[in-house]
Structure 1
Amino acid sequence: MAGLVRTCVILGLSAIAAFTLLASMGEPAGLSDAFSTFRLHFAFGASAIALMGLWLGRVTAIAGLALAFVNLLAGDHPLSPVVPPANGKPLKVMTFNTLYRVENGDRIISEIARHDPDIVFLQEQVVGKQWIYERLKTRYPFQVYCRRVGECDTAILSRYPWISAEAKKVGRDGASFALARFGAELNNLTVATVHLKWPQYSSQLAQLARAWDHLKDSKGEIILAGDFNAVPWSGTLRTFSANTGLRTTGGLAATWPARHHRTGRPCLWCVPQLQIDHVLVSSGIRVTAAAVGKDLGSDHLPVHVELELPMLVSRTANADQFVATTCGICGAIGH
């Protein structure tokens, strides 16, 4: 019996070591990010084996703890932490993958009414769910989404007027994308939502690069939210964050899988384990609160984030400040 347990422990450690190596293969690739998604699972499994190693031998325990440490260390990632409100303009946003095949529109509307976000980002919004937009038209008169089957599955709803907006697929792999540009009321803010394909099926970096092509010339701050199908420590999000300065918000909070990813029904393994739904923000935006919402019948959970935009300084205010500063300097010279 002891021999069988030892063999199982060695095989388990070997498997976790192999998966950890695959998750660390240089530049982000489909295979690498597909395994890096489960780093916390690897860390948990290695820790469990380390505990068993206390009975089997010191070497086994040390090996298990070392693998757990490596995976936990690799989970570190760029983050915009939650901070107290200052004097900026508050803005509440919500992002949610609604799940194609599920009729959960009433739940979505109730969740929106309960949290009252200023901007809503939706993914997997098929044509059959477009009645939701009409129900929300009074509260969110500014709406952009793909109107025909096969175009895209993303949508943005806003109570603030925007200057321009569009929804479409971007990149060779056809990531769903929607974008809206606001004026002075929101300090020239640009917001976008994206729905990426899983890393083992496509190049997520290439999809994000095409989305960034539409965002990089923005005049103000940027919010990019949606279903990235990537955990915050993935090579894709690390590289994208390093290249653009956008960072994930809040702490670790699993959003998937809340239900079966095809039927939307509860299942034995349907316990949220992975954080793949995100709100990314540029450096000038403060994050004052972040939380995961309730089960709405999708395999994803909604994400609610409260933000604070930098206040818009008018040209007149800038001119007054310049005159005051200049007069102060002149006075100092005169003395």
Structure 2
Amino acid sequence: MLTANIQAGSSTRRYSDYVTRSWSHALPMGRKRSSLDTIAQLAGDRDIVGLNESDPGSLRSGFTNQTHYLAERAGFHYWSHQPNRRMGGVASSANGLLSKLEPVEVQDHALPGRIGGRGILLAKFGEGAQGLAVAVAHLSLGANSRLAQLSFIAELLSDHPNAVLMGDFNCVADRPEMQVLYRRTRLQPPSSTVLTFPSWRPERAIDHILVSEGLGIGATEAIPAAFSDHLAIGMELDVPAELLKR
């Protein structure tokens, strides 16, 4: 598995880029296509990939649906996206899911918060409650909004004993608001700290792949790449075959 905040293909390599390269968040210039190709190479050997800040088709992406583009370039037969935030026709943002396994169902839910524009994408693999549920979310910057969002997610995943939740949480895994998730679901805090932000000098672990107890976790690593202000996280996950049977 892989989770990546791709910043719509914009490259950020130092704090000053937020000012000097701010145009890249509104215009289809720079090396966005090259960044997407790098991401596709990164994702191609994974079975399931979660994306945050994938542009669904606006001016800054050259009206390219970046999730679809990555699916085609990386060889994923199944993909889905959830547009969350639109800024006129200039910029848009979405959660995305790429999969080499066919989901039986994909759900799109808006998340609560003081400011709208956040969501969770939920894909189900295998039949019944015992199947694998994979959710992709991008949480708010504010703790109160995150608490409301995590409470919603906990309710959504409470009936799924075999679940994975991944994305940009904008907080470390032991924040107080995260406890609602661990209490109400079988999702567990990560066993090791993986620093992901900022990508050029990682100091904070704010991107996560959370896994239900009972699923086997293998190697977990931060993956450097010449894109975004976040590092991606890759994880090997041992999922019993019977959970994926249709």
Query: What TM-score do the two structures reach when normalised by structure 1?
Result: 0.56
1:261-276 to 2 correspondences below 5 Å: 270-276=200-206
- Structure 2 equivalent of residue 67 of structure 1: none
Report the CA distance between 1:255 and its aligned residue: 0.1
1:289 maps to which of 219, 224, 227:
219
Amino acid at match of 2:2: M
- Structure 1 equivalent of residue 36 of structure 2: 105
The 2-side partners of 1:235 and 1:148 are apart by 26
Give aligned pairs, total.
Answer: 206
1:12-27 to 2 correspondences below 5 Å: none
Contact 2:50 2:98 in 1 (8 A): yes
Report the CA distance between 1:250 and its aligned residue: 4.3
1:125 maps to which of 54, 60, 65:
54
The 2-side partners of 1:99 and 1:131 are apart by 11
1:1-335 to 2 correspondences below 5 Å: 93-100=1-8, 102=10, 103=32, 104-113=35-44, 116-127=45-56, 128=61, 130-137=65-72, 139-146=75-82, 150=86, 153-173=94-114, 174=116, 175-184=118-127, 188-199=131-142, 202-218=144-160, 220-258=161-199, 270-312=200-242
- Percent of aligned pairs with the same residue? 27
The 2-side partners of 1:222 and 1:213 are apart by 13
Report the CA distance between 1:158 and its aligned residue: 0.6
The 2-side partners of 1:144 and 1:212 are apart by 22
The 2-side partners of 1:257 and 1:148 are apart by 23
Contact 1:199 1:230 in 2 (8 A): no
The 1-side partners of 2:158 and 2:206 are apart by 23
The 1-side partners of 2:133 and 2:37 are apart by 29
Report the CA distance between 1:312 and its aligned residue: 2.4
Render the CA deviation track for 1:16-53: whole Å, top value 9, x for unaligned: xxxxxxxxxxxxxxxxxxxxxxxxxxxxxxxxxxxxxx
Pair member with larger Rg: 1
Contact 1:254 1:274 in 2 (8 A): yes
The 2-side partners of 1:161 and 1:110 are apart by 21
1:254 is paired with a residue whose SS is coil
The 2-side partners of 1:110 and 1:176 are apart by 26
Query: What TM-score do the two structures reach when normalised by structure 2?
Result: 0.75
The 1-side partners of 2:232 and 2:162 are apart by 23
Contact 1:194 1:225 in 2 (8 A): yes
The 2-side partners of 1:152 and 1:298 are apart by 14
The 2-side partners of 1:135 and 1:238 are apart by 34
Q: Taking structure 1 as reference, are residues 132 and 203 closer, same or farther at Cα in structure 2, changes over 3 Å only?
A: closer
The 2-side partners of 1:288 and 1:247 are apart by 15
1:198 is paired with a residue whose SS is coil
Contact 2:54 2:94 in 1 (8 A): yes
The 2-side partners of 1:182 and 1:222 are apart by 10
Amino acid at match of 2:48: I
Q: Taking structure 1 as reference, are residues 135 and 234 closer, same or farther at Cα in structure 2, changes over 3 Å only?
A: closer
Q: Taking structure 1 as reference, are residues 168 and 107 closer, same or farther at Cα in structure 2, changes over 3 Å only?
A: farther
Contact 1:256 1:272 in 2 (8 A): yes
Amino acid at match of 1:123: N
Long gaps (5+) in structure 1: 1-92, 259-269, 314-335
Render the CA deviation track for 1:59-117: whole Å, top value 9, x for unaligned: xxxxxxxxxxxxxxxxxxxxxxxxxxxxxxxxxx000001146122112112113xx11
Amino acid at match of 2:76: Y
Long gaps (5+) in structure 2: 11-31, 87-91
Amino acid at match of 1:143: W
RMSD after superposition: 2.6
